[in-house]
Amino acid sequence: MHTLIHVWDQIYASWRQLHWYGMAVGSLLGVKLLLSIRRRRSPGLTFKKTTRQLEIHGVVTVYNESPAMLRRCLESILAQTLPPQSLTVIDDCSADQSAAALIGEMRPQFDRAGIRLGFIRFPENRGKRHGLAAGFRQEPLADAYLCIDSDTVLDQHAVAELAQPFGERRVHCVTGLVLAHNRATNLLTRLIDMRYVNAFLGERVAYSRLGSVLCACGSLAMYRGWVIRKNLDDFLDQRFLGRPATFGDDRRLTYYCLTEGKSLIQPSAVGYTDVPERLGHYIRQQIRWGKSFIREGFLLFAKFRLRRTYWWLNLIELVTWVGFTAALLTALVAIALHPTGWALLASYIAYMCVMSWVRSLHYLRGAAMVGLVDRVLTFLAAPLYALLNIGLLLPLRLWSLATLRRTKWGTRAKIEVGVDAETPEAGGALAASPAVPHQAWGGTANARTRPTYSPDDGVALPAFDSPGSPAHAVR
C-alpha cells in the first residue's frame, strides 16, 4: 500500500508541473489574439477589375433539407451584387422531390438574372464529396468555384467580397465569416455562435495573416478552379486506413490550395447558417469534424513540408490537442486518487474559465448586431463552452480517433433544423419562406448593407457601414 501511495504521489507531483503546459497554451492564445488584430491595408488596384472578370460557378449540395431553407439560400444567391455566372444544385438522393420542385419553380428567376441554373439528383446517396465533384464538373472552365451549404444565407455582398482576393495570383482559397442564423433559439445555439465568432475572427484571421487558413468553412468558401480540377481525381479516390474518405471535404480542398499558394479568410464576406439546436445533432456533427481534424491533420503532418508555414501551424494544432488530452487525463487520475485533488480541480476550472473569456474577446467587442445585455450575458457564459469542451468534446475527439475507420458521414436522416420542416408533395407548390434579412443576428435587420470588420475601432461583423468602404482579405 505504501508503494502504491508513493506511485500516485509521483503522478500528482508530475501533474503540478503541468502549469508549464498552461503557460504554453496561454502564450499561444496571446499570439493568436495579436495576429487577429486587423491592420488597415491600402486597397489593391487590380482587385475590383479582376473580380468582374472571374468566371464563378456556384455549387450547392442538398440532402434532406427544409424546402424553405433551400429557397432562402437560393434567394440570397439571386440577390448578390456579384452573382455567379452559373449554379448547380446537387440533391444527394433526399427522401422527397421537394428540391427538384423548388428548382423548377425558381428557374425563371435565375433565367431573368442571367444565371445558368443546373440541377442533379443522385439515384442513391453518395455523400457530399461526390456532390461537390459533380458540381465542379458541370463547369470545367470556371476560374473559381463557390461552395455554399444549402442551409446558408448570404449577405448580398458575400460573393463579391470572396472574389476580391483572387486578384492576387497566389491566393487559391478564400473562406468567409459564417455566423449562426438561429442564434437566439436556445443556450446551445448561443454558445455555438460565440464559438463561430471566436474561430473565424480569432483563429482563422490569425492564420490568414500567415496565408495559411487550414480549413475553409464549407458553408461559404471559394476555390481556384484549376487547383480543384488538378486534384479532383485524388479528391474522389482518397482513402484512409483502407476505407474511402467520406468526410473532411473542406479540409481536403483547402489542403490542395495550400500546396499551391495561399488560403485566406475574408471577414467581410458573411454567411448565416443554421447550427444544431439539439445535443444529438451537435454530437454527430462534432464526431464528423473530429475525424476530419485527426485524419487530415496526420496526413498533412506526414508530408513533412518543413518549409511551409501551414505545416507548422498544423503541427501546433496537433501538439496542442495531444498535450491538452494527456494533461487532462493525467489530471483526472491524480484528482481521483490524491486527497487534495479537488483543490487542484478548482484551480484548473478557474484557469479554463479565464482562458475561455480571453478567447471570447472578439465576441464581446464585435457582435454588434446582438444587444449589449444579450452579448454580455453570452460572453459571461463562455466558461460553459469550456466545460462542454472538457466534458463532451474531448471524449468525442477520443471516440473519433477510435472510430476513424468508420466512414458513415453521420448526417441527418430527416430535417433537423428548419424554418419550415413540412415537405410538400413532389411538384406541388412550396410554402413561401419568411423574409430573411441579410444581417439576421437575433432576427434584427440593419438598413445599411455592407459588412465591415474593424476591431481597431471597436466595430466588427456584422456591423455595417457605407457601401463605399473597401474591405480586404486578412493578410
Residue from 374, 449, 421 nearest 154 by CA: 449
Residue from 197, 192, 268, 248 nearest 451 by CA: 268
**Residue 469 within a domain:** yes
**Residue 433 within a domain:** yes
CATH number at residue 326: 3.90.550.10
- What predicted TM-score, i.e. pTM, was given to this entire model? 0.80
If one counts the domains in the chain, the total is: 1
**Residue 179 within a domain:** yes
| pLDDT string in tens for the chain (475-residue length) | 555 555 455 555 545 555 666 677 677 778 887 887 765 554 444 455 556 689 999 999 999 999 999 999 999 999 999 999 999 999 999 999 999 999 999 999 999 999 999 999 999 999 999 999 999 999 999 999 999 999 999 999 999 999 999 999 999 999 999 999 999 899 999 999 999 998 999 889 999 999 999 999 999 999 999 999 999 999 998 877 777 777 789 999 999 999 999 999 999 999 999 999 998 898 888 888 888 888 888 888 888 788 888 899 989 888 888 877 777 777 677 667 776 666 666 777 777 888 889 888 888 876 667 788 888 899 999 999 888 877 787 788 788 777 777 766 555 555 555 554 433 333 333 333 333 333 332 333 333 333 332 323 332 333 323 333 445 677 6
**Residue 2 within a domain:** no
**Residue 3 within a domain:** no
Q: What is the pLDDT of residue 441?
A: 29
Domain with 302, as residue range(s), is 11-475
